[in-house]
Amino acid sequence: MTPVETRQKLGLSQKEMASAMGVHVMTLSKWERGERKPDNAALKLMSLLVWLHDRYPRIYAQGLKES
């Protein structure tokens, strides 16, 4: 799943996704445009966010409120 597909699946804006991942919005934007590639840690975090969203939606939603 690409960064933009991940963000869309999670229903987040670029600003929200960047905040959840602890990266700058421009970094996320460059990943989405294919100008840069996320490192392995970022890819694993995106995968974890999708897993949490799918398996534990309440915990996922609560985590977003707190970030």
pTM for the full model?
Answer: 0.86
Q: How large a percentage of the chain has pLDDT more than 90?
A: 84
Which numeric CATH code is attached to 3-66?
1.10.260
Give 15's contacts (C-beta < 8 A, 6+ positions apart).
25
At residue 64, does pLDDT exceed 80?
no
Structure tokens at 66: 């707190």
- Name the burial class of residue 48, with classes exposed (0-12), middle (13-18) and buried (19+) by CB atoms within 10 angstroms of its CB: exposed
Task: Give the per-residue pLDDT at 48.
Answer: 95
| Average pLDDT of the residues in 3-15 | 96
Q: Is the Cβ–Cβ distance between 38 and 48 less than 8 Å?
A: no
pLDDT in tens, 40-59: 999 999 999 999 999 998 88
Structure tokens at 49: 């966010």
At residue 67, does pLDDT exceed 70?
no
